[in-house]
Structure 1
């Protein structure tokens, strides 16, 4: 068993907030950012969110974090300081600072616009108000006219391929028409709930990890156990163990936390802090699957 505790390493490291990164550390930082950003890109691509929306949001976050990193800077120097910190030009910084914090953009992808118009435009609805199947080409109502009503920059065939990839539409070989498959990506309340959990859980987990890296490494508990060279049968067994462990953790911590809350109220202590405790498991194929018999020494690591 190979045990590794990154907290002890981080505690001995120099403070990255006061000491510049070396080229090797910069490369490691970029690799860490890539590992974080790829799942975000997968989510955006999977839900049809265009790059421009995410890029704008990322720039906004850079500006907000740069402002927070320089709380005492004079207002007339803020733009220059933020521009230097982020690498964004002064005009972009000024524009982004004028936007309200957390404001989201309202643009949507051509696929989302086509999907919405097909559901709502009377030109593409039947007498019962339901979206009608569309011929791929030709006069209205057709998918070609629907696509051109959204944009002339994307070929109708490309737009149909994107809608098909998202599971929203499909060309039926039997009747030769394009059919709308769903009236929503998923039920609205389910999507909202899943995205809220994703943002809250992953956001807090990432915030904890980042705070540890930027401090002495011990501010938040953040550990993981990982293993490779497992069979599908072993993964099924491990999932049961993980579920049982979570139930034990939940039943042990929930009453203890409630007791702490009750004690705070009884003592009239200021109670402005929050706590999130999570357990997650992720399975995937190994990058380099074993080609020989499994070794005797188990490949289990704690991180």
Structure 2
């Protein structure tokens, strides 16, 4: 089933653009003090009106996607619900369809393709032409620390991506305002992916982790 706002002619890039903006709306709802209570929980929002309202949240964090399209999609994936009083309640911080539906499989293919393309590129060019690739991995992290790692990545990772998103948007706008042609542009950005793997052999006590660049 096609989500609200998607059409048969949507390109992979357009669908990924929409997905990223939807994720930003949820991040803003859970992180922006204007949309959280004193305990840091997301506020229940009016659909329309001055801040804090869902329409203003969507306008602040989604760029050029209409708030109605965002709301329909977030309801569809179970991230929010519309209450009987016509206010909107956040249920999940993450935008994900889950399972093995076509949209999730398509997204997994895009992510895997981006990572493999960068690795392949870096194996075939000189050092000064390589794309950024780095990692921070603990080989024997206690299981009880995984939720804390997830929260840390959500907060700091989301903040980093928000800053980068602003820079990318500004750079795109400058290019569109100038004489840039399609042949002068590329698809470029950054992906942050958390890794949790079971079944690895225990690493000797002297090796506590790795943090290396290329």
For normalisation by structure 1, the TM-score amounts to 0.34
Larger radius of gyration: 1
Judging by fraction of residues, say which structure has more helix: 1
* More RCO (CA 8 Å, sep 6+): 1
What TM-score comes out, normalization by structure 2 length?
Answer: 0.47
